[in-house]
């Protein structure tokens, strides 16, 4: 168990809908990362937050947004969902924004029908 928690574990929704994925980092970790894992693209970095501020952006679509709250938990919002958004979404955390080791949560499996 990495200490990173993600909810929900599974999510089934319809195209056009909006969902929110939640992540709680390990105790003491200030940085949170979001990744999307699909069969064809592998693990793709979406976005990183550090102590409430956006730190780095990757291949995140404009329909997706995220934030990190004062208690350091983070939420990833996915809107106008398309079939192709079906994937595993992982959250990871690290002590600082420069830390080498990232600890991954168990993921949220999103299925868009």
Partner 1 sequence: QQQVKQSPQSLIVQKGGISIINCAYENTAFDYFPWYQQFPGKGPALLIAIRPDVSEKKEGRFTISFNKSAKQFSLHIMDSQPGDSATYFCAARSSGGSNYKLTFGKGTLLTVNP
Q: Is the CB of 56 or the CB of 111 nearer to partner 1?
A: 56
The nearest distance, CB 22 to partner 1, in angstroms, is 15
| CA 55 – CA 28 distance, rounded (Å) | 18
The nearest distance, CB 70 to partner 1, in angstroms, is 23
The nearest distance, CB 80 to partner 1, in angstroms, is 25
What contacts 24+ positions apart, CB below 8 Å, involve 38-46?
A: 38/86, 38/87, 38/88, 43/90, 46/76
Q: Is the CB of 92 or the CB of 112 nearer to partner 1?
A: 92
């Amino acid at each position: 168990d990495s200490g990173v928690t993600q909810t929900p574990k599974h999510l089934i929704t319809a195209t056009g809908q909006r969902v929110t994925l939640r992540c709680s980092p390990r105790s003491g970790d200030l940085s949170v990362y979001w990744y999307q894992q699909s069969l064809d693209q592998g693990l793709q970095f979406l976005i990183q937050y550090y102590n409430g501020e956006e730190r780095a952006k990757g291949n995140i679509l404009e329909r997706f947004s995220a934030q990190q709250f004062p208690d350091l938990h983070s939420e990833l919002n996915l809107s106008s969902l398309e079939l192709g958004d079906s994937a595993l979404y992982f959250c990871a955390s690290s002590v600082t924004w420069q830390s080498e080791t990232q600890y991954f949560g168990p993921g949220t499996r999103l299925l868009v029908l």
